[in-house]
Amino acid sequence: GEDVEQSLFLSVREGDSSVINCTYTDSSSTYLYWYKQEPGAGLQLLTYIFSNMDMKQDQRLTVLLNKKDKHLSLRIADTQTGDSAIYFCAESIEGGSQGNLIFGKGTKLSVKP
């Protein structure tokens, strides 16, 4: 069955890099996503990667995908206090217009000044 696992907490110092890890079980995942949720807010799509890619970079964000190990990571460079939030990893099995998302439980990132 489909399952997405994430560690629950991560604490870093401002200016350091943060790496949030995620593992998934379904090898037929087509797209993998990172969403950010700030307190009391909805989910903000940060980035996503297609399963035939290894890496995607978008400004301070770098996504690495190891398809063999079914491991996805999100690296945030120069982490700021405004990056404090819960980060959700999600997979889409079918993609396209039928691509409902399977989410992990979320990793709470705390950034200390």
Applying CB under 8 A, which residues contact another protein? 31, 35, 41-45, 48, 50, 88, 90, 92, 95-106
**Which are the contacts of 86, defined by CB distance < 8 A and separation ≥ 6?**
36, 37, 106, 107, 108, 109
User: Which lies closer to another protein via its Cβ, residue 32 or residue 111?
Assistant: 32
Instruction: State which residue, 85 or 102, has the beta carbon closest to another protein.
Output: 102
Is 69 exposed, middle or buried, given 0-12, 13-18 or 19+ CB atoms closer than 10 A?
exposed
Q: Which is nearer to another protein, 33 or 79 (CB)?
A: 33
Q: How far is the CB of 50 from another protein (least distance, A)?
A: 8
What is the rounded distance in angstroms from the CA atom of residue 21 to the CA atom of residue 74?
A: 7
Q: What is Dmax (Cα atoms) for the chain?
A: 42
CA distance 5 to 65: 14
| N-to-C CA span, the chain | 41
User: In the complex with another protein, which residue's Cβ is closer, 79 or 104?
Assistant: 104
Shortest distance in whole angstroms from residue 43 CB to another protein: 4
